[in-house]
């Protein structure tokens, strides 16, 4: 009797797999000196 479970999952569509991989490897650039408009009122940023 084995411990645990092994399952194989496949994507319904090949394009979906590529899209998910693109999202996983995406890099987002954020400017550190940008503040939100309401920073003083909300006490954020």
Kindly state the average pLDDT of the residues 25-40.
Answer: 76
Written in H, E and C, the secondary structure of the chain is: CCCCCCCCCCCCCHHHHHHHHHHHCCCCCCCCCCCCCCHHHHCCC
Q: What is the pLDDT of residue 1?
A: 54
Query: What letters, b where the CB count within 10 A reaches 16 and e where it falls short, cover 27-40?
Result: eeeeeeeeeeeeee
* pTM attached to this predicted model: 0.39
- With a cut of 70, say whether residue 45 has pLDDT above it: no
- With a cut of 70, say whether residue 26 has pLDDT above it: yes
Q: What is the pLDDT of residue 15?
A: 85
Instruction: Label residue 11 by pLDDT band (50, 70, 90).
Output: confident
Cβ contacts of 36 within 8 Å, gap of 6 or more: 42, 44, 45
């Amino acid at each position: 009797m084995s411990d645990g479970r092994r399952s194989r999952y496949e994507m319904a569509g090949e394009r979906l797999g590529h899209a998910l991989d693109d999202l996983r490897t995406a890099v987002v650039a954020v400017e550190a000196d940008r503040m939100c408009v309401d920073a003083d009122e909300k006490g954020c940023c």
